[in-house]
């Protein structure tokens, strides 16, 4: 009897040990799986964090670029506003008489002068009163860096027979007037000729319909357009379109 009891006890202990060992192994396997999952998730989290930090760095750099551009634009607009105020102060009488208009457009300043205060009708020689206006204008722009574009404009009235020998059309007259003003800025005020441009537009860029004498008078004008040097350089530096090679012809 005692021997039988001993066998039962030993068998029970053995079975209990087997169950405990099997459960332990299972738990260990589960723990290892959990650790592997946790490690994988941590690596994914770290990778996502690195990507987020990289995107944040790029966004910060872009924000700095936009901020600098905004500051530069504000500085440019402030300078343009100051330049306009200076011109308005110098040309106050002409502005009051409505012989001169000052306008800001796309970051450029334009001074529009009726031809009657600068030139005699059908002539490109500058009148004394025109020289006075140009002297005031030159005093405000001679020390700057802007490109000074002088534009000549006319109405649609054909050139008279008497003037045809010298100015066949309004093209020649408007171009001659623009060149006279540019030359005056260079010779009288020593403005760097590299800053000067002169163009004649004839009657093809009117500011009013040519349907009345008043409107025709508005169209007969000289415009001084001040273009920031940086914009001019950028336009000049732009690469020309590549020429297409001509197809080869076989003999």
Q: 10-residue block means of pLDDT along the chain (251 residues)? A: 55 55 80 85 86 88 87 80 90 92 90 95 94 95 94 96 94 98 98 97 97 96 90 51 44 38
Domain-wise residue ranges, the chain:
80-234
User: Which residue, among 141, 93, 140, 138, has the nearest Cα to 117 in the 3D structure?
Assistant: 93
Q: What was the pLDDT predicted at 16?
A: 56
Residue 16 CA: distances (Å) to CA of 22, 34, 81: 10, 27, 95
Q: Can you tell me which residue has the tokens 């990778």?
A: 47
pLDDT at 242: 45
Q: Which residues sit opposite 196 in a β-bridge? A: 148
Question: For the whole prediction, is pTM greater than 0.85?
Answer: no
- Supply the pLDDT for residue 6: 58
CATH 3.40.309.10 fits 80-234, yes or no: no
- What does DSSP say about strands 147-153 and 221-227: parallel, antiparallel, or unpaired? antiparallel
| Three-state DSSP state, 144 | coil
Query: Kind and range of the H or E element at 175?
Result: helix 170-189
């Amino acid at each position: 009897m005692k021997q039988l009891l001993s066998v039962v006890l030993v068998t029970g202990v053995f079975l209990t040990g087997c169950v405990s060992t099997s459960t332990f192994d299972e738990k260990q396997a589960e723990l290892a799986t959990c650790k592997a999952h946790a490690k994988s998730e941590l690596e994914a989290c770290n990778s996502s964090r690195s990507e987020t930090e990289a995107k944040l760095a790029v966004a910060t750099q872009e924000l700095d670029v936009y901020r600098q551009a905004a500051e530069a634009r504000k500085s440019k607009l402030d300078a343009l506003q100051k330049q306009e105020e200076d011109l308005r102060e110098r040309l106050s009488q002409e502005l009051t008489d409505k012989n001169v208009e000052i306008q800001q457009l796309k970051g450029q300043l334009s001074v529009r002068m009726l031809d009657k205060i600068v030139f005699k009708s059908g002539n490109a020689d500058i009148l004394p009163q025109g020289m006075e206006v140009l002297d005031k204008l030159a005093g405000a722009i001679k020390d700057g860096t802007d490109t000074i574009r002088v534009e000549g404009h006319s109405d649609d009235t054909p050139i008279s027979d008497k003037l045809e020998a010298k100015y066949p059309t309004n093209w020649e007259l408007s171009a001659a007037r623009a060149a006279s003003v540019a030359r005056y800025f260079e010779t009288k005020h020593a403005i760097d000729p590299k800053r000067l441009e002169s163009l004649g537009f004839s009657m093809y860029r009117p500011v009013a319909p040519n349907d009345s004498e008043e409107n025709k008078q508005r169209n007969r004008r000289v415009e001084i357009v001040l273009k920031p040097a940086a914009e001019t350089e950028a336009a000049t530096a732009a690469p020309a379109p590549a020429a297409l090679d001509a197809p080869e012809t076989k003999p």
